């Protein structure tokens, strides 16, 4: 790995005598880590726990994740271990039972799925991505994760300007120069320049300045990058504190974690922690901000259709959700968040909210894929069948499968107890309802399937 000389000299100024160990670590193998979805899988993988994240684990090697049906069912997420550190913000600083949270730069979904787990179905998570194609990937990953209290938006930070004082917490994982990804993504080395660092720093300040008014008084801003330099990290945090009305908050650290602190934030260096380069700072808003007030408007009933009774039986606690229709489709959102979700739809480009339950097709009600993957499905409402690996992969490729031992009608297919989706058994054949845009396209190689969870038969 040939590092730019300007990067080497600048980083030496920061690390001093530690620089040689740092550069040696960059020549090593990037560790592989996952975070388990505790709503879907009770088993822990074979591997070392990520010390700052209770559901995070290191794997001994990197398997072919596409060959594992469990990842398609949202049973775990492949995420860089350092970025799982945001869990400590929740554990140490979040006191609200039902906070409203914004993940501003959310794609592809690592931090948002983590935040969804930390919220555990309470409060509201708004996951935003400015680039449309990446927003679709974000939406898919959050659908597979299954949390019901999530809204996905596709907006520029400035579009949130009317939501002053709306959020209790705002997470800004800012677009950066990518220094912390040099080991994992060598291409980022060729794109690094001192000028780009400066441009990134200026853009990061604009992003934070645009979104800061949406934070309540005493609300918490979490700012993170995957860089080491002071311009994008400490100097930006100092600028936020001095110009936006905020104070830097400390976190309690276990010394064995190897996390470094400068007093303005926390650095993860690959020679000291098992993970890639990462920086995180926490600030509390000190200036007064007017509280967001919901403007209620009478809901139009045009084109509304009655929700079939059977749809309510598909949910474990239907009274906890507002079930509404849009044309011939049905959706569920947490009843306590209904007014806030309506407010978001009035201001933003919302591409997903809550759980899509199904739709009418003639006299039939067809269950939706997102229902099968959600935390709120009543499994007793459907016949379920556990597929062997070969058939599970065939289902995920949207190939033909057979269910000779199942009754006719809708069947929820699973792998090791984790739902993958729906199929309609017609007796002599099966209609595979897995979404066409999600199907596995690569060639299947059974030798590449190496399960790292221990299942007992």
Which residues carry out catalysis? 226
Angle, vertex CA 56, rays to CA 157 and CA 93, nearest 5: 55
DSSP E strands in 177-242: the ranges are 215-225
Cβ proximity of 138 and 111 under 8 Å: no
Distances (CA, A) of 89 to 134, 222, 342, 389: 26, 8, 28, 38
Cβ proximity of 53 and 33 under 8 Å: no
Phi-psi region of 33 (alpha: psi -120 to 50; beta: other; left: phi over 0): beta
Cβ proximity of 276 and 228 under 8 Å: no
In 3D space, the residue among 329, 396, 405 whose CA is nearest the CA of residue 367 turns out to be 329
Angle 5-15/19-26 helices, nearest 10 degrees?
130
Looking at the DSSP bridge assignments, the partners of residue 282 are 222, 249
* SS3 (DSSP) at 269: coil
* SS3 (DSSP) at 24: helix
Angle, vertex CA 266, rays to CA 260 and CA 267, nearest 5: 60
Cβ proximity of 373 and 421 under 8 Å: yes
Distances (CA, A) of 370 to 8, 254, 339, 434: 47, 39, 23, 10
């Amino acid at each position: 790995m040939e590092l730019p000389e300007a990067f080497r000299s600048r980083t030496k100024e920061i690390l001093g005598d530690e620089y040689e160990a740092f550069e040696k670590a960059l020549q090593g193998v990037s560790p592989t880590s996952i975070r388990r979805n505790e709503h879907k899988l009770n088993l822990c993988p074979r591997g070392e726990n990520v010390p700052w994240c209770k559901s995070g684990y290191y794997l001994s090697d990197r398997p072919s994740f596409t060959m594992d049906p469990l990842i398609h069912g949202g049973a775990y997420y492949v995420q860089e271990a350092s970025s799982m550190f945001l869990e400590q913000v929740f554990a140490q600083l979040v006191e609200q039972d039902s906070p409203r949270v914004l993940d501003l730069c959310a794609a592809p979904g690592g931090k948002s799925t983590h935040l969804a787990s930390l919220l555990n179905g309470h409060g509201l998570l708004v996951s935003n991505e400015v680039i449309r194609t990446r927003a679709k990937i974000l939406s898919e990953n959050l659908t597979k994760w299954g949390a019901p209290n999530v809204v996905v938006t596709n907006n520029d930070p400035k579009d949130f300007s009317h939501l002053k004082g709306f959020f209790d917490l705002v997470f800004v994982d800012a677009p950066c120069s990518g220094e912390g990804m040099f080991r994992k993504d060598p291409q980022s080395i060729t794109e690094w320049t001192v000028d780009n660092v400066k441009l990134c720093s200026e853009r990061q300040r604009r992003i934070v300045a645009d979104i800061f008014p949406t934070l309540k008084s005493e609300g918490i801003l979490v700012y993170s990058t995957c860089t080491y330099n002071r311009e994008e990290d400490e100097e930006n945090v100092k600028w936020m504190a001095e110009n936006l009305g905020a104070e830097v908050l400390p976190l309690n650290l276990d010394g064995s974690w190897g996390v470094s602190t400068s007093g303005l934030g926390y650095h993860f260096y690959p020679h000291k922690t098992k993970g890639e380069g990462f920086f995180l700072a926490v600030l509390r808003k000190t200036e007064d901000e007017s509280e967001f007030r919901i403007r209620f408007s009478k809901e139009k009933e045009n084109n509304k259709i009655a929700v079939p009774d059977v749809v309510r039986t598909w949910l474990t606690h239907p009274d906890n959700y507002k079930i509404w229709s849009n044309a011939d489709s049905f959706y569920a959102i947490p009843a306590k968040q209904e007014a806030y979700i309506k407010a978001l739809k009035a201001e933003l480009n919302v591409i997903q909210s809550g759980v899509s339950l199904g739709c009418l097709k003639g006299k039939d009600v067809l269950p939706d894929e997102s229902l099968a993957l959600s935390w709120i499905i009543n499994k007793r409402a459907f016949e379920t069948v556990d597929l062997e690996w070969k058939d599970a992969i065939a289902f995920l490729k949207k190939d033909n499968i057979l269910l000779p031992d199942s009754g006719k009608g809708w069947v929820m297919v699973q792998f090791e107890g984790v739902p993958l989706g729906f199929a309609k058994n017609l007796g002599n054949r099966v209609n595979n309802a897995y979404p066409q845009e999600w199907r596995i396209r690569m060639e299947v190689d059974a030798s590449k399937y190496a399960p790292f969870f221990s299942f007992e038969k």
